[in-house]
Amino acid sequence: MSIKSIMPRGLYGRAALILIVPIITIQLVVSVTFIQRHFEKVTRQLTVGAIAELRLIQREVNREATIESARMRLTELGGALQVKSVQFQPAAGPEEDRREFYDLSGRVVIATLREGIAGLGPVDLVTDSEVNLRMPSRWGEMALQIDRNRFSASNPHQLLVLMIVASVLLTVIAFLFLSNQLRPIKLLAEAADAFGKGRVIAYRPRGAAEVRAAGNAFLDMRSRIERQIEQRTLMLSGVSHDLRTPLTRLRLGLSMLPEDEETRALLGDVADMERLVDEFLAFARGDATEDSIEADPMAIAMKVAENAERMGELVIVQGATGGVRVRLRPQAVMRALENLVGNALRYGSQAVVTVLVTDRTLRFVVEDDGPGIPPSQRDDALAPFARLDEARDPNRGGGAGLGLSIASDIARSHGGTLRLGSSEALGGLRAELVIAR
């Protein structure tokens, strides 16, 4: 597993990682440097000072002649040195040293006490505010209870908690500021993604100067593309009018001539020319003149099947969409699906259309029982005016070889693609029109 595979893919996730990793690193460095060096050194110095006082108590008690005078001296010294409790021959206590697992300075306190006091008994640090220890003396074991502040300034975990709280607070504040810079980038990505799927959403450049520059460049690019599409559509409308006018005159003139084999042949040529012109214009026009709306993909497939049935062809539609509506250009998608179904019926005897809807895509799968297209020629079949072998030549039957090209362009304008394969159920061609949601 590489590092890239576990890295966040989103911009916000990577920004959070950039913020968090340095803060955690700083905390670890400060913790190790401060606790292991500075804090432990201070704790050792304080404990050494407390050891000197404990030795004084031990020495003065051992000098007394009787146990009664020793008790009095012990009480007197305990009050002077701010020892909370001192007594001889205490009740049974812990048999070994005790401290809480989070008491990092307790380890240093216990180790320093044992180095400085010979014969020291168990040291109990379970109570955070007190140190309970036992020392040997001439008159028996002494139990002393001393304030913990005499041995260490405070517990290190308090410093760690303070560092963590401060780091979290600073991280949140920094992320809020950083999100203001990331949000314009995300909006630009959403606008670009929507435009790639054939939708135009409102977008206004904002954020840092570099992001504004990228946003303005995107708007300029989108405007140029839209203007180019509009100009091409207007030009093609004029070309369509100019081409149809002489074709109409030819058809009208031929219809007034006596009907014979030559006239019928000429009328067939005119019909072929009109069909070719329609296919050329459909290929060049694409779906630029249509707006995206919420549509039912199953209704589109059923409409295509009904149109085919009126022409005496059988098209089976299957699939379950659950009434899901998808934003697309319904007329363009219907034209692409009609081209795929028309090709299937031209080279086969039946066509099956399957509608599949997922969270990210809409797929129309058209299968037939025809000869299919070899894998080596499928890429060529998507190119306009491509010529295949006679078994599946798009130019056979008067076509211009633009059906698959139109369907592929419509799929790309919706952020999808057109895939060609082999049908396992029918044995012919499998054409999968994929539309991004």
Strand partners, 351: 315, 368
Give tens-digit pLDDT for 71-117: 888 888 888 777 877 777 666 777 889 988 877 788 888 999 999 99
Ordered by start, the domain boundaries in the chain are 8-158, 197-285, 290-436
pLDDT surpasses 60 at 1: no
Mean pLDDT of 195-212: 80
Q: 1-10, 100-109, 208-217, 369-378 — which is least confidently predicted?
A: 1-10
Instruction: Determine the Cα angle at 345 with ends 343 and 351, to 5°.
Output: 105
| CATH, domain range 290-436 | 3.30.565.10
Given CATH 3.30.450, say whether it is the number of domain 8-158. yes
Distance CA 142, CA 56 (A): 13
Provide the CA 174 distance to its chain's centre, in angstroms. Answer: 21
Total residues belonging to the chain = 437
Cα 359–Cα 365–Cα 369 angle in degrees, nearest 5: 160
| Mean pLDDT, the chain, whole residue set | 80
> CA-CA distance, 298 to 258, in Å (whole number)?
48
Q: Tens digits of per-residue pLDDT, 18-41?
A: 778 888 888 777 777 766 677 788
* Tokens (6 digits) for 29: 């460095």
H helices present in 286-356, as ranges:
297-310, 330-347
DSSP 39: I
pTM of the model: 0.50
Burial of residue 313 (CB within 10 Å: 0-12, 13-18, 19+) is middle
CATH topology of domain 197-285: Helix Hairpins (1.10.287)
Whether the per-residue pLDDT at 159 is higher than 70: the answer is no
Token pair, residue 21, equals 């990793």
Contact status, residue 158 vs residue 132, Cβ threshold 8 Å:
no
